[in-house]
Amino acid sequence: MIKDLLDRPIEKRPTALEFEGRILYLLDDTELVKAQLYDGQDIELTDESKANLRDQISTDEITPAYICFFYDETLGDFPYLGLRTTNQSTGETDYPVERNAVRNGGFVCSVAGKRRGKGSSREASPYAELHAGIKVVVAESIERIYNENCQNLGVLTTNDFSIIDRIKAGEVIDLSEFTAGKDEITRQIIEYGGLFEFNVARLQGKVTIPRTAAQGGLPEGGAVTMEAPPARRPMTLAEKIFARHLVTDAAAGATGVDWVRPGDAGFFRTDIRFSHEYVTPMASIFFEDKVGENAKVVDADSILFFRDHLTFLEKVMSQERIEQGLLDVAKELEVKQRTFAEKQGVTLYGEQMGHKLGSQAICHSKILEEYAEPGMLIIGTDSHTPHAGAIGAVAFGVGTTAIFNSWITKDVRVKVPPSFKVVIHGEPAPNVTAKDYMLEILRHPYIRDGEAIGQIIEYAGPAVEALSVDERATMANMAAEVGAFTGIVAADEKSVEFMVNERGMDRARAEALVEGMQSDPDAEYVKVIEIDASTIRPMAALPNDPGNGVFIDELGDEPIRIDIAYAGSCTAGKKEDMDMYARVFAEADAQGLRVHADVKAFIQCGSTEVREYCREQGYLELFERMGAEFIEPGCGACIAAGPGVTASPDEVSISSQNRNFPGRSGPGNLYLGSPYSVAASAVCGYVTSWSPGQSFEPVDARKLATI
């Protein structure tokens, strides 16, 4: 395999670029978007139109989940089908983009506001834009994974709005306009037109891999100093892990330096690489097309595949989409992944023996339950890969191209990000959970304004140290919603107990893994956010963004009726989450109550291991008695692919999942809450919180009919 790549001709892209096509402004104005797409109208970028650019556009809006059933150039038919705009006359929400509208409009550049590409790590989004004709993406700020996916595919990105007029004027633009300020590796990836092309050049010795300062390289920016670098600098936990994994000699397989610092760029050896059925098929196509039909992945034992996202799809897909053939297209994902796994000898967590629906485990659940260890470097094709950071691992999401390249090299390119720390102190109320901490963090201006994009969030402080590994996983998982590179919690005695009690690991080995897996006391952070747990009350995120957090007791005098309560997902399908649902339901059961008659309640576990825990604890009988449907492991409603999704815009649901972007779980309004709050809301019929020993107050649906 490597020999074939060494003989392959590879060239850089031209340094002088011309772009022929129109500019598409993604605005919060239905009529202006339609005018661009269907009437051929070109819009000028004025202060008014720039202020009207859509912020916070998620990958769910660029390519809704059902679009990702496709994994080839057909994706070019679909970019922005989930884009949410406002009808300025009526104030109603619209979705104005239709199939092929972007391609037929002849657009070459797409423009948006802040935090473009937030959410899922799906490379299908820039891939769809690319094959619809979009060559340049402009935005005020761009999320880390989406930006890397663009670079890996050859889509050019910039925060410089002056590029727009130059494209419109037909100017020749130097490639350096898009590489300025980039680290050495990213610059060369852009120059070679993508990550695979760069990696081929890397194997051929045509590229420059910069030396870090610890290796005697120049500081970032190339400034020469007279002072020798320190023998070792204080490091955060994440920096320690990156230092261990930096590839120093690819040919010899050597890794490790004494220290790294933010800005150091290089390739880092991975311990675990995983992907799921939404991504593995596209990655396998890339692998077979670019490397060879009979090529073998490197170290198949450290690669894992999961079928977890679409195992309940046939229960919720509309008849219209079934008739369009989308169910058959989706089923092909499973077939392609299974075939590739068998061919490559890769472990696949798929459907359970004897079960038609459901999976053995959600990928993040299984990685933490069985594989992740303190000090590991883990990559996965899902934005919630940081889940494993709960026990002191660096785990982060990557796109399709990055994972397929890792199958060749076993490493991943990273520019070491800066870290910021969230310190939570104080004594929380007994009904305040890690989810409430996260909803409080997500509404902080530092996060809402996009300052945290691409940084590492380290959770610390007495209140975090008091959390179980399951609860820490909720916080690490939702680093994705922060827009962070990853989230991490220092390894400690609770990490040891987790590995010993949950995995049966030898205690001495567990203690050895934990040793040193904490940040140095004088490590550097770009920001420290202090939170007093005693000031936090149960929270809910209002529809459309997990950053819309409010205290539930401040929602208003009129209760918010719900139709659905969905409890589960990778974030909230762990053992301790099940304890929380059961605690609330047990109290309601003791009061003779059941799930509200007008509410459909679903509880979905993260793995078969969690299901068996529920069986042993007697929770399955309790859930059934309460009228909640227990669902086999899978992602389900969290990605609009299982029971628990809304069916119409006027339906309302509350969920313990991690994100509620438009269309994420159906067309209705989705509130986020803690496991306690979701269970209590299911009993009461409206969005509410729970307190130990409370008397539940279900509301007559007739009193809510006009709300």
What does the longest C-alpha to C-alpha distance in the chain come to? 77
Which residue from 675, 673, 680 is spatially nearest to 699, judged by alpha carbons?
680
From the CA atom positions of the chain, what is the Rg in Å? Answer: 25
Helices (H), 530-668: 569-572, 575-590, 608-617, 619-626
d(CA 132, CA 151): 17
- Residue 638's φ and ψ, nearest 5 degrees, are -60, -25
d(CA 315, CA 327): 11
Please tell me whether residue 195 adopts helix, strand or coil conformation: helix
d(CA 530, CA 440): 11
Q: Which two tokens stand for residue 583?
A: 């605690």
Which residue from 220, 219, 238, 237 is spatially nearest to 228, judged by alpha carbons?
219
Give the Cα-Cα-Cα angle 387, 390, 394 (nearest 5 degrees): 70
Please tell me whether residue 186 adopts helix, strand or coil conformation: helix
Q: Mean pLDDT in runs of 10 for the chain (707 residues)? A: 73 94 97 97 91 94 89 94 94 95 98 92 92 98 92 96 95 96 94 93 88 74 48 93 94 91 95 95 92 94 94 83 85 93 96 80 96 98 96 95 94 96 98 98 94 96 98 97 96 98 97 98 97 98 96 93 95 97 97 97 96 98 98 88 91 96 90 98 97 89 44
d(CA 392, CA 236): 11
- What angle in degrees, to the nearest 10, is found between the helix axes of 507-514 and 493-503? 140
pTM of the model: 0.88
Contact, 382 vs 201, CB < 8 A? no
Which residue from 364, 367, 384, 366 is spatially nearest to 376, judged by alpha carbons?
367
Burial 338-366 (b: 16+ CB within 10 A, else e): bebbeebebebbbbbeeeebbbbbbbbbb
d(CA 33, CA 41): 9
d(CA 110, CA 136): 7
Report strand pairing: 652-655 vs 600-604: unpaired
Report strand pairing: 347-349 vs 247-249: unpaired
Q: Quick one: pLDDT at residue 311?
A: 86
Query: pLDDT per residue over 151-199, tens digit each?
Result: 999 999 999 999 999 999 999 999 999 999 999 999 999 999 999 999 9
Q: Which two tokens stand for residue 56?
A: 């916070």
d(CA 64, CA 81): 7
- What angle in degrees, to the nearest 10, is found between the helix axes of 144-153 and 124-131? 50
> Residue with structure tokens 């202090």?
530
Domains of the chain: 19-171 (3.20.19), 417-534 (3.40.1060.10), 539-704 (3.30.499.10)
Contact, 527 vs 420, CB < 8 A? yes
Which residue from 88, 89, 95, 29 is spatially nearest to 61, judged by alpha carbons?
95
Q: Which two tokens stand for residue 96?
A: 């104005």
Which residue from 215, 221, 197, 220 is spatially nearest to 207, judged by alpha carbons?
197
Give the Cα-Cα-Cα angle 683, 688, 690 (nearest 5 degrees): 75
